[in-house]
Amino acid sequence: MDAIHPVTYLSEEEQMFKEAVQDFAREEILPHVMDMDQKGAFRREIIDQFFELGLMGIDIPEEYGGTGGNFFMSILAIEAMASVDASAAIYVDVQNTLVNNAFQRWGNEEIKKRYLPQLAQAKIGAYALSEPSSGSDAFGLKCKAEEKGDHYILNGSKLWITNAGEADIFLIFANVNPELGYKGITAFVVERDFEGFTIGKKEDKLGIRASSTCELIMNNCVVPKDNIIGEVGKGYKVAIETLNEGRIGIGAQMLGVMQGSMDAAVQYAKERTQFGKEIFKFQGLRFQVAEAKILLEASRRFVYNAARMKDAGEDFVMEAAMSKYFSSTNAEVVTSRMLEVFGGYGYTKDFPAEKFYRDAKIGQIYEGTSNMQLDTIGKMLFSK
């Protein structure tokens, strides 16, 4: 068994991997973070570097062009990236924990051979479940799929789709038989250039601004029958089980956001002087940062534990929900307190504190709101 790191519970190899990703983020992404945030656009050349470094196919087997790592390594990469820029982390997160995960677990061999090498080496994927009328009620979706010979015709729209602006491969959930309710939901692989498929409005967001969030429109979109992930009518199962891994990914994002905000605040507190001394020498401020550190480390243990359980093949559904709830709740608290360390400067865009604060809020909303996580946890407790 690998040696356990005394603080973060990482092996030496895992620690080196995490530090390598963080070094890359600081060198290649950090100089562009504020510009990308202000413009609401991510630099394509950085995404290309993600592919070159193998970060977009971390746990895809080598036979399909991936790195051949595990889920926990994806979590470490997401965390390290988010400590510099949450928008950057989202590209790595959605690709690994949702899209690649769904293709590997539910795709047949032909689907895997066709799409996994593309996802590992060149093309961004997007996961399209939400609709204008179905958010937390994910299975109330209206998007329909009608069978026509050797293909399906999809009609409807999707909303809040992360990475849609840059994606080439989309996993879209539509209902082949609305009379059956959620039992008619089916997962389809849609390519960007498929007939009848278009990218709609890009959202102007509070945080994670450089990450694209767009509407998708299917107007008689033609999808071959071979492009079904899993079985017809089993899309609900694909969605539910894939999102369990996705929630751990969101937890990792929040770890990075907390860490980045703390690093910036600690550095500032060493440099800023008031009343003739550096502000970190005031006990009240040290207590504030110490409490934030406790929340961060407690969250890290939740997230790491859920990821380890997933890799070990254990039931991790409750742990995934707890890790997302706990880390996203704490991220809002921690980034708010770290912003206060900067005083008035923290409220300006001249310092990174306000961006970390804005980026933290989404953690309580996407891939299942905090209330939905509590509902999942509560149901599991009372089902025993």
State the CB neighbour count (10 A cutoff) for residue 239. Answer: 23
Q: Does residue 75 register a pLDDT over 90?
A: yes
Q: Does residue 6 register a pLDDT over 70?
A: no
Q: Does residue 3 register a pLDDT over 70?
A: no
Query: Which pairing describes strands 228-229 and 185-191: parallel, antiparallel, or unpaired?
Result: antiparallel
pLDDT reported for residue 62: 97
Supply φ then ψ for residue 197, to 5 degrees. Answer: -115, 130
Q: Which positions are catalytic? A: 367
Taking CA atoms, 284 is separated from 182, 267, 277, 357, in Å, by 53, 17, 14, 21
Average pLDDT over residues 141-170: 97
pLDDT reported for residue 138: 77
Task: Kindly state which CATH superfamily the domain 237-382 is placed in.
Answer: Butyryl-CoA Dehydrogenase, subunit A, domain 3 (1.20.140.10)
User: CA–CA separation, 25 vs 171, rounded Å?
Assistant: 28
Please state the domain extents for the chain.
12-124, 126-233, 237-382
Q: Residue 121: which pLDDT band, with cuts at 50, 70 and 90?
A: very high
Average pLDDT over residues 339-357: 97
User: CA–CA separation, 89 vs 250, rounded Å?
Assistant: 10
| Strands of the chain, DSSP E | 125-128, 144-148, 151-162, 169-175, 185-191, 197-202, 213-224, 228-229, 273-274, 277-278
Q: Does residue 156 register a pLDDT over 90?
A: yes
Position 224, amino acid: P
CB 242 within 8 A of CB 367: no
Average pLDDT, the chain: 95
Q: Does residue 1 register a pLDDT over 90?
A: no
Average pLDDT over residues 1-6: 43
Q: Does residue 5 register a pLDDT over 70?
A: no
Tell me the CATH architecture of domain 12-124: Orthogonal Bundle (1.10)
Residue 137 vs residue 364, higher pLDDT: 364
State the CB neighbour count (10 A cutoff) for residue 135. Answer: 17
Q: What is the pLDDT of residues 235-249, one digit of tens each?
A: 999 999 999 999 999
Is the domain spanning 126-233 CATH 2.40.110.10? The answer is yes
pLDDT reported for residue 135: 80
pLDDT reported for residue 4: 42
DSSP 3-state of 158: strand
Task: Tally helices (H) and strands (E) across the chain.
Answer: 12, 10
pLDDT reported for residue 137: 83
Q: Residue 139: which pLDDT band, with cuts at 50, 70 and 90?
A: confident
Tell me the sheet residues that pair with 161. Answer: 214
Average pLDDT over residues 17-38: 98
pLDDT reported for residue 7: 43
User: CA–CA separation, 345 vs 342, rounded Å?
Assistant: 5
Q: Residue 93: which pLDDT band, with cuts at 50, 70 and 90?
A: very high
Q: What is the pLDDT of residues 180-219, one digit of tens each?
A: 999 999 999 999 999 999 999 999 999 999 999 999 999 9
User: CA–CA separation, 153 vs 214, rounded Å?
Assistant: 21
pLDDT reported for residue 84: 98
State the CB neighbour count (10 A cutoff) for residue 378. Answer: 12
Q: Does residue 47 register a pLDDT over 50?
A: yes
Q: What is the pLDDT of residues 254-275, one digit of tens each?
A: 999 999 999 999 999 999 999 9
pLDDT reported for residue 136: 84
pLDDT reported for residue 294: 98
Q: What is the pLDDT of residues 285-335, one digit of tens each?
A: 999 999 999 999 999 999 999 999 999 999 999 999 999 999 999 999 999
Backbone CA torsion sign across 90, 261, 202, 146:
positive
Query: Which pairing describes strands 144-148 and 185-191: parallel, antiparallel, or unpaired?
Result: unpaired
User: CA–CA separation, 292 vs 294, rounded Å?
Assistant: 5
**Of how many residues is the chain composed?**
384
